[in-house]
Structure 1
């Protein structure tokens, strides 16, 4: 791996990925809303910021996401479902990474190994959902998983060695999760970044379009 692009580079996992890759000697380009004005939910912003870049990048990692948006906490019941909050979840957790994928195609090499990865979440798994709740976040992540799977099919037609995956980082101690950790075991962002990069290192093109956890184990759709 020589050149990496991290979207959401100012966040807990994004910043840790930048640090871990830099320590490996990888040339890292980081973009974020706070530092660069990149709004992944706005296609004009995505097109402008990514259009300034010169590839190719052999890793493009979308580390953006949100669990609570504009004060709307994850729902505990269907009675709490709110249309605006649900649309906000889709904008950040599905539409944003999807737009980045669309505008990343020209930044990836046509030949040779390259990886496009987006942070998903195990709670976005339909098959693994036994508890319910968190309706909007779960549904947005499930939609992201479908976009990654579908995008991988199209990507393979033009980038035969490319890998496009959704990754579950585990529970990570960041401002993103601090209100919801409770007693769940969690790891620091640098450890999560190392785990995710270890998974990425081991991926092959035959695994493109799939969903993996931080141990490299497949997650049910």
Structure 2
């Protein structure tokens, strides 16, 4: 059973659902909940902390703070960006811009990479410990049959490579670590709202459903699965 749990991105719908579900499943565990909009407070076994993703020193301090109560057993990164303001998924090459690419990559690739840099070394070495980041099926190059969404697809594909690299490196000194990406499916959040009209019936999930399913996937994995990407239903997603 995980004793020291970290959820990052808890102001979002999925991160919040992860926090609630982990609190219910592990009431005796310590849960550190980080987001950029949090104020320091506690609620039951959950302690909320602020973090600034644009400041690596803040990320480093967050990892040290969480590890003060012991090595980390589970770290879940539930951050990400698909659209914001004038940033929308591109339909064709003419829609590309450096500004959009930098914003999307900062949120979906760089921030999780820096979180991995500082949180993975804090993982438990004596028992199974997991670092999981929310990825996306559209980050699979071999699964891409529709095109479009250039920056988002590329940023998630890059994240998947980061996770693979981190898994290979971490395995050399922590044989109990599981480093993976998770695809939550299409979840009823602000991120998916502009695109929900095209979602097949029964395939639009609540955040609580998605979090519950993904936690079951996490429980089923072992270090031999490290470096891979899994969907909410446990199916491995090809690179």
User: TM-score, normalised on structure 1?
Assistant: 0.96
- 1:48 corresponds in structure 2 to 61
Q: 1:72 maps to which residue?
A: 87
SS at the partner of 2:6? strand
Q: Distance in 2 between matches of 1:170 and 1:122?
A: 8
SS at match of 2:166: helix
Which residue is 2:35 aligned to? Answer: 32
Instruction: Give the Cα–Cα distance (whole angstroms) in 1 for the partners of residues 169 and 121 of structure 2.
Output: 13
* 2:126 aligned counterpart, secondary structure: coil
Alignment map for 1:45-124 (pairs within 5 Å): 45-53=58-66, 54=68, 55-124=70-139
**Correspondences of 1:1-221 after superposition (within 5 Å):** 1-25=2-26, 26-35=29-38, 36-53=49-66, 54=68, 55-184=70-199, 185-221=203-239
Structure 1, unmatched stretches of 5+, are: none
| Cα deviation code 1:59-94 (max 9, x no counterpart) | 000000011134210001111001011011110000
How many Å separate the matches in 2 of 1:140 and 1:43? 19
Q: Secondary structure of the residue that 2:7 maps to in structure 1?
A: strand
Q: Secondary structure at the match of 1:61?
A: strand
Give yes or no for contact 1:74–1:133 (8 Å, CA) kept in 2.
Answer: yes
Q: How much does 1:183 deviate?
A: 3.1
Query: SS where residue 92 of structure 1 aligns?
Result: helix
- Give CA deviations for 1:86-121 in whole Å, capped at 9, x if unaligned: 011110000000100000133211221000000000
2:53 and 2:77 map into 1 onto residues whose CA distance is 10
Structure-2 separation of matches of 1:155 and 1:82: 35
Return the alpha-carbon distance in structure 1 between the equivalents of residues 144 and 210 of structure 2: 23
Cα distance, 1:177 vs structure 2: 1.2
User: SS of the residue aligned with 1:34?
Assistant: coil
Q: Is the 8 A contact 2:120 2:131 kept in 1?
A: no
Cα deviation, 1:158-199, whole Å, max 9, x if unaligned, reads: 111110001100000011211121130311000000000000
Instruction: For structure 2, list consecutive stretches of 5 or more residues without a partner in the other structure.
Output: 39-48
**Greater Cα shift, 62-71 or 81-90:** 62-71
| TM superposition score normalised by structure 2 | 0.89
**1:181 aligned counterpart, secondary structure:** helix
Q: For 1:123 and 1:139, how far apart are their aligned partners in 2?
A: 9
How many Å apart are 1:217 and its aligned residue? 0.6
CA distance in 1, matches of 2:117, 2:142: 27
